[in-house]
Structure 1
Amino acid sequence: MTHSPTGGAWRRPTRRPRWPLALALAAALPTPLSGGEADNGAPQRQPAARAMKTAEEAPSGRAGAEALDDAAFNARIRAVARDAFVTVHVTFRKDPAELQPPAPYHARYEDQGPEDLAREIAHRFVDDCRTLDLPGLWIDAAGTVLVTDLGFPTKLIDRIEVRTGDGKTIAAEPHAVLRDAPGWRLAARATGPCPAPAFADPGPVTPDMELTASWIEEIDGVWSISFGPLGGATLPLSGAPHPAWFRLGGGGGAPLPPPGPWGEVGNATGLTDRPLHLLFDHNAVPVGVALHERLPLAPEAPATWRGPAVQHGPAVTFEALRTLERKVIEAADRQVAEVKLTFRMTAPEDDADYRPRGSAPYLRDPFASPEEGRERTVYGLAVAPRRLLVPLGLNESLAARIERIDVALPGRESFVPGRFLGAFKAFAGFLVETDQDLAEPPPDLFAIEILPRVRPIATLRVVHKYGRRTSVFGYARILERQRGYRNRLADLPEPPLAPGTLLFDLDGRPAGFVATLRRDDEKVRALRDPDRGAYTAPWESGLHAEDNRLFRFRDIRDALEHPETAFDPDIRVKTKFEERRLVWLGIEYCLLNRELTRHLGIENPTKSGQIGVMIVDVYDGSPASRLGLRDGDILLAVREAGGQEPVELRFHEGDHAGFGMRYVGSAPPPESEEELWLAEPPWHSQRTPLNLLLTSIGKGKPVILTCLVGGKVIEKELVLEEGPPDYESTDRKKHEPTGLTVRGLTYEVRKALKLPPEAPGVVVSKVEEGSPAAVAKIHPYDVIQRVQGTAVDSPAGLVAAFESACAAGINTVKVQTLRLDRTRFVDLRFDMEVPAERIGKPGSEN
């Protein structure tokens, strides 16, 4: 026996039909579907050479079967195929609820699903005044036509016409969805008997069985008949439990459908590019229909391709699907609750002195600008009376900024407060809890053990669309399994399903959901290739994302009942200043370039300056100082301990926008106080790409730094730790009467201004226009050291000093400030009214 390269076994060469190469090619040439000649210039089919076999020799023949020569064999197949095959022409209509095509596919997640893409395709056909043309097959005399599973909602179908080989046009309508094969049955309004094939039972099916496939395809506008031998049978290796199957498109056999309109529609529905092949035995007797490229040989799965089962096998009528839709949506109205997430804005109006700097991809912020909005509405399934599972991603950055959660069931006018419990480590989903019972979870939540392949699975997406709750019902099938992350086999639904989709069996029982699979190394993957994506916001997850998976409720029962052990500890709600705290290394650095690396003789390890940063300063007591790193050392990469691939430090000038000192060193000093007021702070921001990268990896994670020290590449191990508060994460206070907002004096400010650790002071972060502080010419980034001769050591201390002076009846206080290296004394009045003509920008000469 000969084996396929993948380990399966072909049929025995001695028992395969003897199709010489030239004649096999000739057998695949088309013949017109109608009785006339093809007008595409294609040569007509020549009789294929075929070995004569007696009934006794035929491996799956029936006693007394007539032995055919090649010409009679080919003629019989052509005759049956010409009568049995029809062409089906689908005319679409636009969805009245969606008169415009959906937004492009990169739009927000809640507006996109497979039904939206199907609608977009249908609208495109309507706009182009086109029909979707596909093969069909009579399967009974009453007028039932078999087509591949279209995957389109029937509300998008305006009419269906069936055209026969003799030119007749017959109206048809969708009738049922096959349960055990990816196909539809259409009910044609035929006026007389239809020439359906007389299917015979092929008898025992073995890998040595000889089958011939016939199909029709459109070539240059002409529908033509083709036929050829079925591909070889594939057998499992010894001991494997999986059954054997025939296959299309292999071993020189019948091909899969050609590209064309199929590809366009297949991208939308995932189902319409399936084959529709009529199968014949060695005596040219029709025995089955191929609706999938794999034809299982096991007798327990007859309905997938054998003719009688395809004709009379179980199916789900579209009326039954509509009944199931009502049942599923009614249950969802009781068990799926609305969850409104309110996020803290990155730069809210009450914190306008906070200016995030840099464009490093590690902390991309979907809410960085007010126009992005601060609320998102998602939906969660009750898994306990007070707990909801939201099967959508919520990454560390978003979870940190959750300000409020409100939960409501349909029909309730008010919301109840909810709490974020945590996000799961294994998949992109999170739990929300309330203080009162919301809904009873489905009683049979964990009942379904498996989702059977091929059979339809009911799907439901509950989304917030056009300002209201919308339930989108559909169905999908599991036709393939694919090996993915950690070598696990994953079911692939067709059409692809969006994260957040709930799954039900045909009885309406909940089975599972679709969510994005989380990886152990997702953070590092995102750092190496940000555009590939890791665990991002739910609206950044595409419908065709390679990590979307089907999760059965039964498989995650332990995680739902004991979530504390299944949560990701890094994804949690944080305060505003906790969110801004950074993991640090404790260095200042500069970027490399080709000229510098050539001068230093380090072109090879730094790839001519493409990777690496040079240390220019090390903070005392920092992790870098404890590692023994010094000025001039070069950092090349960082890798999590136990990880295999490091993240190379590939930073660019654009990533450092605003990360340096604008008027120190490389740029001339300001020429006016107006220019100084507009200047960046005279110290290095600690929100550098390096610190953001380390923060993304996470506090407490062991990592390995690859360094270039003294011309040698070495590795240093350390455990990442959170740095002390920096200017952008330290505490702040605002004193309304003076218009001053101040922050604590942090380590990088002291370093830049050369202040000793014991030096008092607070940093002015904002001055209101026209305020007493602006009139006194106090500027942002000035350091206030003393008030009335008393040292100020914190923002709260400054406010207390001002309030103490006011309580003592003092209207003007003497304030000592430091601007770069100059000490100034200013009089700051509390009771002054600023004339309108004096109101202007702080620091102006008005």
Structure 2
Amino acid sequence: MVRYLLVLPALAMLASAVQAEEPSSSEMAAAIAAAAPSLVRVEYALRYDKGEQPQSFGGGGRFMHDLHGLAEAVREERPAEWGGFLVGPTTVVAPDPVIHPRFVESIAVRFGEDVVKARPAACGRDQAAVFLELERPLKGARPLAFDADRKGPYMEVTYSRSDGVWTATASSVATVLSVTETGRKTCPAPHSALVVDKRGGAVALSMGGEWPADDSWKGPPSAWKVVTADDLAAHLADVERRMAAGAMRVTLHFRSPKQETGRRMFRSRDDDRSATEQHAVGVLVNPRRVLVLANLKPNDTARLERIVVHPAKGEPAAAKFDGSLKDYGCFVAALEKPLPGAVAMSGRPILDCRWMLLPAAEVRLHGEDWTVYFNHCRIAGFDVGWRRQVYPQMSGDESRLVLFDEEGAVLALPVVRRERVTTEERYSDGRPLLTPVAYLKAVLDDLASHVDAHNAPLTEEEESRLAWLGAELQPLDKELARANKVSDLTHDGESGAIVSYVYPNSPAAGAGVEAGWILLRLRVEGQPKPLDVRLDRDDRFGGPFPWDELDEVQEQYYERIPTPWPGVENQLTRALTDLGFGTKFKAEFFRDGQTVLKDLEVAPGPPHYESAPRAKSAALGLTVRDLTYEVRRYFQKKDDEPGVVVSKVEPGGKASVAGLKPYEIITHVNDKPVANAGDFEAAAAGQDELRLSVKRMTRGRVVKIKMAPAAGPAPKAPGAAGKAP
């Protein structure tokens, strides 16, 4: 008890000492009065360029908030304004807004009623500041006089608009020390502030968010390391030359996707798969290798047939696919002939670049055309992401930004972080992140260990393969989940599916899975989270397929009729296919009141309707396909029963005129059974008349079609008979 009583007076003495260090309101008022003749307003008159609103790639603290209103300032017909400091008769230091010159109409500096035009003369190299040169001195203003020897405690004076009024604010500068695990010592510092002593004498300007732990931050801005406007222009021109040689447009040519049947085929995360040509940015990482910044999913890469690289100078160059990066949304292409101008990849740690003036290129790709805007940027901070990787924090849209270090080497590229199959959201936008090249270089140096073998070009036949469990699934809903007592295991019916049928000799059958079990989720080795089973409910018609109404459908709408059976490709089969054949996983089921795990391996399924062999008869205007496993299941047909399914009926063709409809089954041609599309093609060839045995579910009929007579030999020319050979 005595010890506590002794401590109380000590704490009281400490509190008194701290209070003595705090500036009084009169001292703060004096500091503001001393600084007032040097506090100015910097006005940027901004504009739209090519219909695009102005944006910034820099700033921090209070200044960061101001940058978000650039477009609003244009719409409201007022300048974007920031507080600045007069440091010389015609020199003002202000926060660096990092706005591309194409958005800047003019710059002016205001003191009271006096307004003077200004131009950027230099930028701080390590300080987020711009030096503005005035056309003439400001009337009534007085430059600051800095003295690094002035002693603390210190105050900070800021100048900004608050509640509609320009306001100078003074407060004490806190003494805080931060030491990183690497031993770097810094002190948190005010942003865009004048640091003064108790008498209001200027000590330094603080334009970033931190100071060094020693006294090197004190002194006039004239002692800072700066980059003049001319030097910056020359530096950006050098970066532009490097960019022109080392970055290029890459054209990707894809095989046309197989035509989907009806309008209700499953759509994967990347809905637009109809394109046969795509343009992307390529980075020449060495004379024979291009890193293509295209986040292709496996079902798109499967269709990739040809790669053409377009250097800034010279003819287009052919390249071959060399591997998709496992963790990043890009792939490597190998050039058939070497190209000059490979970029240098910076070895500078990204953490050392905060607030530094960094050259940048903003790449706009528009089909075969691209536009690149060059400016400087500043990193305001950092985020920690995947596997503790550190990503720079920018105030603008970084998805098209390439950062360079002060030597002109590439520092960061806009790359999508490739999500794992189990973590990828179905409608994820896949936005590129400004990724330090140090991470990419480590991958490229050991490419074989970092490629995804399952994300590669395939043949047309291989492209159509889908993984399967060999079980038909019915998605749960809230009522089914509660009735089966699995609400807590299925997010109240939002996930999970009931096994309604197990195909013989399938992976599910081999694992002992039975109808009535509930599939909850998949646990895949190497994936960060389990894959919840989520399926869309098949409510295409609000009930069974309307076979009785098929005769009422006009022929021009045949192609829009969805298949009567559920499509084989869904979220689950797509995810399994993307995981790759041979991948081992555990399937979690619920049965008899408890969960069970079954060991399975991703296996390719048998041919399905969309990939089935087909035969097209131009004379009939008819296309038929083999009866695949899911089609036979729907029609309750055994494996040895003959038949082909009508997959397409051309409007106005003989088949349409004769009354054939999509999804009917043709079992015989001229009384001869047809087991597959090849049999149908052979049986129909060279016939004057076809008698087709057709079944629509359980009802059968015979359709007769007159064919054009086969063409005979060409008649001999007049007078040709009897001539000697």
Contact between 1:708 and 1:714, CA under 8 Å: does it hold in 2?
Answer: yes
1:216 to 129, 153, 159: 159
Deviations 1:315-338 (A, max 9, x none): 112222222222222232233222
Output the CA distance in 2 between the equivalents of 1:735 and 1:87.
79
Partner SS for 1:186: strand
2:521 to 631, 637, 641: 637
1:434 counterpart letter in structure 2: L
Output the CA distance in 1 between the equivalents of 2:496 and 2:122.
62
Q: Does 1:485 align with 2:386?
A: yes
Q: Does 1:831 align with 2:713?
A: no
Output the CA distance in 2 between the equivalents of 1:113 and 1:687.
44
1:611–1:320 Cα change, 3 Å: same
RMSD of aligned alpha carbons = 3.6
Q: Does 1:523 align with 2:431?
A: no
Partner SS for 1:232: coil
2:688 counterpart letter in structure 1: N
Which residue in 1 is equivalent to 2:40?
86
1:625 to 504, 509, 520: 509
Q: Does 1:317 align with 2:228?
A: yes
Partner SS for 1:436: coil
Output the CA distance in 2 between the equivalents of 1:294 and 1:505.
21
- State the number of aligned residues: 687
Which residue in 2 is equivalent to 1:551?
436
Unmatched segments (≥5 aa) in structure 1:
1-11, 28-46, 49-70, 103-111, 249-255, 257-274, 534-539, 834-846
1:149 to 92, 96, 100: 96
Which residue in 2 is equivalent to 1:189?
135
Deviations 1:755-812 (A, max 9, x none): 2223333222111122222233333223333334444333234323434xx2xxx422
Alignment of 1:358-377 (within 5 A): 358=265, 362-367=268-273, 374-377=276-279
Shift of 1:187: 0.7
Which residue in 2 is equivalent to 1:108?
none
Which residue in 2 is equivalent to 1:137?
85
Shift of 1:286: 2.2
Which residue in 1 is equivalent to 2:243?
332
Alignment of 1:95-244 (within 5 A): 95=49, 98-99=50-51, 101=53, 122=70, 124-139=72-87, 141-164=88-111, 166-191=112-137, 195-202=142-149, 210-236=153-179, 240-244=181-185
Which residue in 2 is equivalent to 1:378?
280
Shift of 1:500: 5.1
Shift of 1:584: 1.3
Which residue in 2 is equivalent to 1:799?
681
Which residue in 2 is equivalent to 1:681?
563
Output the CA distance in 2 between the equivalents of 1:617 and 1:445.
55
1:100–1:148 Cα change, 3 Å: closer
Percent identity between matched residues is: 25
Partner SS for 1:233: coil
2:703 counterpart letter in structure 1: V
Which residue in 1 is equivalent to 2:186?
245
Task: Give the stretch that moved more between structures: 783-792 or 748-757.
Answer: 783-792
Q: Does 1:506 align with 2:406?
A: yes
Shift of 1:84: 2.1
Contact between 1:92 and 1:156, CA under 8 Å: does it hold in 2?
Answer: yes
Contact between 1:243 and 1:298, CA under 8 Å: does it hold in 2?
Answer: no
Partner SS for 1:728: helix
Shift of 1:227: 0.9
Contact between 2:282 and 2:293, CA under 8 Å: does it hold in 1?
Answer: yes
Output the CA distance in 2 between the equivalents of 1:376 and 1:187.
47
Shift of 1:680: 4.2
Contact between 1:86 and 1:163, CA under 8 Å: does it hold in 2?
Answer: yes
1:767 to 649, 667, 672: 649
1:439 to 340, 349, 352: 340
Partner SS for 2:290: strand
Please give the TM-score of this superposition, normalised by the length of structure 2: 0.85
Task: Give the stretch that moved more between structures: 822-831 or 756-765.
Answer: 822-831
Shift of 1:727: 0.6
Contact between 2:384 and 2:391, CA under 8 Å: does it hold in 1?
Answer: no
Output the CA distance in 1 between the equivalents of 2:335 and 2:237.
28
Shift of 1:515: 1.8
Alignment of 1:362-511 (within 5 A): 362-367=268-273, 374-412=276-314, 415-442=316-343, 444-445=344-345, 452-465=353-366, 468-488=369-389, 490-496=390-396, 498-499=398-399, 501-511=401-411
Contact between 2:124 and 2:226, CA under 8 Å: does it hold in 1?
Answer: yes
Output the CA distance in 1 between the equivalents of 2:541 and 2:448.
39
Shift of 1:431: 1.8
Output the CA distance in 1 between the equivalents of 2:157 and 2:481.
67
Task: Give the stretch that moved more between structures: 149-158 or 689-698.
Answer: 689-698
1:243 counterpart letter in structure 2: R
Which residue in 2 is equivalent to 1:296?
212
Alignment of 1:618-767 (within 5 A): 618-641=502-525, 643=527, 645-653=529-537, 656-658=538-540, 662-663=544-545, 669-671=547-549, 673-675=551-553, 680-767=562-649
Shift of 1:213: 1.0
2:43 counterpart letter in structure 1: H
Partner SS for 2:576: helix
Deviations 1:551-572 (A, max 9, x none): 22x5544533553332122221
Partner SS for 2:624: strand
Output the CA distance in 2 between the equivalents of 1:576 and 1:121.
51
Partner SS for 1:662: coil
2:444 to 538, 552, 560: 560
Contact between 1:590 and 1:613, CA under 8 Å: does it hold in 2?
Answer: yes
1:586 to 465, 470, 484: 470
Output the CA distance in 2 between the equivalents of 1:832 and 1:769.
22
Contact between 1:210 and 1:281, CA under 8 Å: does it hold in 2?
Answer: yes
1:705–1:739 Cα change, 3 Å: same
2:261 counterpart letter in structure 1: Y
2:604 counterpart letter in structure 1: E
Unmatched segments (≥5 aa) in structure 2:
1-11, 59-63, 711-725
Q: Does 1:615 align with 2:563?
A: no
Partner SS for 2:340: coil
1:232 counterpart letter in structure 2: T
Output the CA distance in 1 between the equivalents of 2:370 and 2:282.
12
Which residue in 2 is equivalent to 1:33?
none
Output the CA distance in 2 between the equivalents of 1:499 and 1:392.
12
Output the CA distance in 2 between the equivalents of 1:672 and 1:99.
51
Partner SS for 1:79: helix
Shift of 1:690: 3.4
1:183 counterpart letter in structure 2: A
1:642–1:403 Cα change, 3 Å: closer
1:596–1:470 Cα change, 3 Å: closer
Partner SS for 1:83: helix
Shift of 1:131: 0.9
Which residue in 2 is equivalent to 1:59?
none
1:129–1:681 Cα change, 3 Å: closer
Which residue in 2 is equivalent to 1:18?
18
1:593–1:242 Cα change, 3 Å: same
Deviations 1:564-604 (A, max 9, x none): 33212222123445333222111223233444455555555
Contact between 2:470 and 2:503, CA under 8 Å: does it hold in 1?
Answer: yes
Output the CA distance in 2 between the equivalents of 1:828 and 1:743.
20
Output the CA distance in 1 between the equivalents of 2:669 and 2:16.
100
1:497–1:279 Cα change, 3 Å: same
Partner SS for 1:778: coil
Contact between 1:379 and 1:463, CA under 8 Å: does it hold in 2?
Answer: no
Contact between 2:261 and 2:562, CA under 8 Å: does it hold in 1?
Answer: no
Task: Give the stretch that moved more between structures: 167-176 or 278-287.
Answer: 278-287
Output the CA distance in 1 between the equivalents of 2:107 and 2:56.
25
Shift of 1:479: 3.7
Which residue in 1 is equivalent to 2:718?
none
Partner SS for 2:36: helix
